[in-house]
Amino acid sequence: MFEIELSRKAEKFYRSIDDKAARILNRCFEILSKEPFYHANIKKLHGEFEGSYRYRSGSLRIIYSVDEKEKIVPKSGQCFLGSENVVHPLL
């Protein structure tokens, strides 16, 4: 199992979203904690985000990196939650 770390900004944003978006993110965090590399909605990124992954769920996107040695999806990684054209720091 991998640990998901949220920054203070991410926690504040998470508390501000509606219940539907929170349920989507909770499911996403559950999947990422079990397997952050392989899933139908996970894509390995290239270019500017080389070494990062993207998880897609509806209009939400989470871009994250993984520390395999520590088994952590770290809050210091390139992680964002985006809905439409808005991007918020997530992890």
- DSSP per position, the chain: -PEE---HHHHHHHHHS-HHHHHHHHHHHHHHHH-SS-STTEEE--GGGTT-EEEEETTEEEEE--BTTTTEE-TTSS-EEEETTEEEE--
Instruction: Report the pLDDT value the prediction gives residue 44, as an integer from 0 to 100.
Output: 92
Tens-digit pLDDT string for the chain (91 aa): 888 887 777 777 788 888 988 888 889 888 988 888 989 999 998 988 888 888 888 777 788 888 877 777 765 444 455 554 444 455 5
CATH at residue 50: 3.30.2310.20
Instruction: Report the pLDDT value the prediction gives residue 80, as an integer from 0 to 100.
Output: 56
Backbone phi, psi, residue 3, to 5°: -95, 135
Domain span including residue 25? 3-89
Asked if 47 contacts 11 with a C-beta cutoff of 8 angstroms, the reply is: no
Q: Give the total number of structural domains in the chain.
A: 1
